[in-house]
Amino acid sequence: MILKDKVALVTGSTSGIGLAVARALASEGARIMLHGFGDRDANLALKEEMAALSGDLASYSDADLSSPDAIDALVAQCTDELGSPSILVNNAGVQHVAPVESFPTDKWDWIMAVNLSAVFHTTRLCLPSMRQRGWGRIINTASAHSIVASPNKAPYVAAKHGVAGFTKAVALEAARDGITVNCISPGYVWTPLVENQIPDTMKARGLTREQVMNDVLLAAQPTKRFVEPVEVAALALFLCRPESGSITGANLSMDGGWTAQ
């Protein structure tokens, strides 16, 4: 178990990609700070699953990442209950699809807060103890939308480009301290986040469900299949391995060839 005695805070790990990442890190012995919304009993059961996988402690928080105070409390809870995180996976994200001129301004603020500002807050709170320890891994789930754009997703695209830039800057600041900072940029992964945007995309573009799936989503992906959450998790786990120590400031695509076009 390569991550024994390491504490991993994985935001948005009650669902989708984050849950797969948490499972992968727990399977290598990491203490998992599970985090995210959803049914509390189901999430407490997931926390128990993490403890069983790692054979160590696990904890759970439903802190709202749109609130900097709640993020403070999340990192404090993790530190109190498990120890200070040496692996931080900034994974939680939200989406709303609409043309820019009719994009609700509160939804702009929400997407920026959860997808971008929260990454700043968790990072600034977790870096000092990583520096002290001389080892740390920060892995940000960005997106193919950190590299290219799609219509009707201006705030998401702006936030994800921001995550990619933030990743590079922090990687440079932490480069001499045994800390790597990278983002993983998946293409379309079949999770609730993608499933939930289908109705809005149908409305925005006047398309059927099948047209959205085949002509909008998978149209971008030469492999013509959705990325699997476990594939993203395997890359996140690799970034925690000792052999990955020279990978920093990178934006690692896992998008079935989307951004190669």
Residues of this chain, 154-213, that bind ligand NAD according to CB under 6 A: 186, 188-189, 191-194
User: CA-CA distance, 71 to 84, in Å (whole number)?
Assistant: 14
Tokens matching residue 201 = 């995309």
Q: Rule CB under 6 A: is residue 220 a binding residue for ligand NAD?
A: no
Distance in Å, CB of 124 to ligand NAD, minimum:
17
Catalytic positions, written as ranges: 156
Q: Work out which of 7, 8, 15, 250 binds ligand NAD, going by CB under 6 A.
A: 15
Distance in Å, CB of 141 to ligand NAD, minimum:
4
Q: Work out which of 7, 18, 96, 252 binds ligand NAD, going by CB under 6 A.
A: 18
Q: Work out which of 85, 93, 136, 162 binds ligand NAD, going by CB under 6 A.
A: 93
Please give the torsion angle defined by the CA atoms of residues 75, 251, 94 and 11, in that order, rounded to the nearest 10 degrees: -20
Distance in Å, CB of 215 to ligand NAD, minimum:
16
Q: Rule CB under 6 A: is residue 16 a binding residue for ligand NAD?
A: yes
Q: Rule CB under 6 A: is residue 92 a binding residue for ligand NAD?
A: yes
Stretch that binds ligand NAD, among 12-20, 166-174, 205-213, 242-250 (CB under 6 A): 12-20
User: CA-CA distance, 199 to 48, in Å (whole number)?
Assistant: 34
Instruction: Name the residue nearer to ligand NAD (CB basis): 82 or 188.
Output: 188
Buried-exposed string 198-214: b where 16+ CB fall within 10 A, e elsewhere:
beebbebeebeeeebbe
Distance in Å, CB of 229 to ligand NAD, minimum:
7
Instruction: Name the residue nearer to ligand NAD (CB basis): 84 or 191.
Output: 191
Residues that bind ligand NAD (CB under 6 A): 12, 14-18, 36-38, 64-66, 91-94, 114, 141, 143, 186, 188-189, 191-194
